[in-house]
């Protein structure tokens, strides 16, 4: 796969430093389950919105000796959950370019806590290597390269709404994300920080476990197909209620699949449920706010900017992000 992307390029004259920032993204229609684990090929399409300014800054340079990797200015220790994956990726690239790398990753979001840090991480690496080697890869090729590190990273190359098509080819060359044309300046994402500690089960293992043991998972591809059609319709017509209802239902359906795995995979904490109940109660009282949840206890809310003050009055610690820039 990397060979198809990179072997025809010239790697001989890298510049001194490559760098790039990649934002993270939040899936409104989730990716959960793979058709190929080695290539991170998903079973279904998924759809996300990018969070500008929140993510990973990557710096990359050629190393004299072995690869060295640091995260937030500290050397990555071999027992870090990302150590193996990051080294495997760099080794695979070295097999083509013949270089070892110095890689520095700086995050402005919590790492491995269900805030999609792996999405911005692997997208920033693909972009920084492209900068270092002046490969001039297309956005589709960068999306594929980012995907090899972590599936959701495929959706962190371009801003806005991104649709990652599962594709059908066994080499994964048709499995990349593309940006949807809709801009929605009034749309807000609110991060509800419930717990920033490292999650117990990585999405990689959690996904496999769900796929292997959950009876409900059999209906997941059908759920995604239905939700994706509803979501695309909601985005095209800027129908906020349809977007919120579909995103929330899709996230709950993914967690239902996890809950029915054996043993159950539960990412929520008591406060997660408490906040979900508060959001639903507020909605019942007329405040249009919905949530989504990934492989961690934290929640991401969606609402429109006209309700920002009302939302903040209930959740004063919420971080509010404007995926399309602020409308005010």
Instruction: Compute how many residues bind ligand PMV; rule: CB under 6 A.
Output: 14
Shortest gap between Cβ of 32 and ligand PMV (angstroms)?
6
Q: Single out the residue of 49, 18, 17, 297 nearest to residue 152, CA to CA.
A: 49
Residue range at the interface with ligand PMV (CB under 6 A); choices 90-98, 146-154, 208-216, 270-278: 146-154
Q: Rule CB under 6 A: which of 30-49 touch ligand PMV? A: 30-32, 46
Q: 89 with 51: CB under 8 angstroms? A: no
Neighbouring C-alpha atoms within 13 Å toward the C-beta of 301? 31
Shortest gap between Cβ of 47 and ligand PMV (angstroms)?
9
> Does 152 engage in binding with ligand PMV (CB under 6 A)?
yes
Shortest gap between Cβ of 61 and ligand PMV (angstroms)?
26
Taking CB under 6 A as the criterion, the residue among 24, 118, 143, 232 binding ligand PMV is 118
> Does 111 engage in binding with ligand PMV (CB under 6 A)?
no
Q: Rule CB under 6 A: which of 201-260 touch ligand PMV? A: 203-204
Shortest gap between Cβ of 136 and ligand PMV (angstroms)?
26
Neighbouring C-alpha atoms within 13 Å toward the C-beta of 98? 7
DSSP state of 16: S
Residue range at the interface with ligand PMV (CB under 6 A); choices 12-20, 29-37, 171-179, 270-278: 29-37
The 277-296 contact track toward ligand PMV, x by CB under 6 A, reads: -----------------xx-
Tell me whether residue 46 or residue 97 sits nearer to ligand PMV (CB atom): 46
Taking CB under 6 A as the criterion, the residue among 1, 20, 22, 27 binding ligand PMV is 27
> Does 297 engage in binding with ligand PMV (CB under 6 A)?
no
Taking CB under 6 A as the criterion, the residue among 60, 109, 113, 116 binding ligand PMV is 116
Q: 241 with 249: CB under 8 angstroms? A: no
Tell me whether residue 203 or residue 211 sits nearer to ligand PMV (CB atom): 203
Shortest gap between Cβ of 30 and ligand PMV (angstroms)?
4
Record the tokens describing residue 181, joined without a space: 């044309």
Taking CB under 6 A as the criterion, the residue among 14, 151, 160, 190 binding ligand PMV is 151
For 242-304, give the DSSP string: HHHHHHHHHHHHHHHHHHTSSS------HHHHHHHHHHHHHHHTT---EEEE-SSS-EEEEEE
Cα separation, 124 vs 143, in Å, equals 11
Shortest gap between Cβ of 7 and ligand PMV (angstroms)?
25
Cα separation, 300 vs 28, in Å, equals 10
- At residue 255, what are phi and psi to the nearest 5 degrees? -70, -30
Record the tokens describing residue 94, joined without a space: 């070295």
- At residue 88, what are phi and psi to the nearest 5 degrees? -60, -40
Q: Rule CB under 6 A: which of 163-192 touch ligand PMV? A: none
Q: 210 with 258: CB under 8 angstroms? A: yes
Q: Is the dihedral of CA 210, 175, 183, 26 positive or negative?
A: positive
The 46-65 contact track toward ligand PMV, x by CB under 6 A, reads: x-------------------
**Residues within the interface to ligand PMV (CB under 6 A):** 27, 30-32, 46, 116, 118, 150-152, 203-204, 294-295
């Amino acid at each position: 796969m990397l060979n198809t992307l990179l072997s025809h390029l010239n790697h001989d004259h890298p510049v001194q430093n490559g760098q790039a920032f990649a934002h993270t993204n939040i899936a409104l229609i989730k990716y959960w389950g793979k058709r190929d684990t080695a290539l991170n090929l998903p079973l279904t399409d998924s759809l996300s919105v990018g969070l500008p300014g929140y993510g990973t800054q990557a710096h990359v340079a050629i190393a004299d000796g072995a690869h060295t990797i640091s995260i937030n200015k500290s050397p990555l220790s071999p027992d870090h959950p990302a150590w193996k994956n990051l080294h495997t990726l760099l080794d695979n690239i070295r097999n083509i370019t013949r270089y070892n790398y110095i890689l520095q990753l700086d995050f402005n979001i919590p790492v491995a806590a269900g805030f999609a840090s792996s999405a911005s991480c692997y997208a920033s690496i693909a972009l920084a290597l492209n900068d270092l080697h002046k490969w001039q890869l297309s956005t589709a090729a960068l999306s594929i390269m980012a995907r090899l590190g972590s599936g959701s990273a495929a959706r962190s190359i371009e801003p806005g709404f991104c649709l990652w098509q599962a594709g059908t080819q066994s080499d994964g060359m048709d499995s990349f994300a593309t940006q949807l044309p809709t801009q929605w300046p009034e749309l807000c994402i609110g991060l509800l920080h419930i717990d920033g500690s490292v999650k117990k089960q990585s999405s990689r293992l959690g996904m496999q476990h769900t796929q292997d043991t959950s009876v409900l998972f059999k209906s997941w591809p059908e759920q995604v197909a239905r939700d994706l059609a509803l979501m695309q319709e909601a985005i095209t017509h800027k129908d906020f209620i349809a977007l919120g209802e579909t995103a929330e239902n899709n996230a709950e359906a993914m967690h239902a699949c996890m809950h029915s795995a054996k043993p159950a995979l539960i990412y929520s904490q008591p406060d997660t449920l408490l906040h979900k109940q508060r959001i639903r109660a507020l909605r019942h009282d007329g405040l249009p706010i919905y949530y989504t949840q990934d492989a961690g206890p934290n929640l991401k809310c969606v609402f429109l900017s006209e309700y920002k003050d009302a939302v903040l009055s209930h959740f004063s610690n919420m971080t509010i992000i404007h995926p399309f820039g602020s409308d005010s």
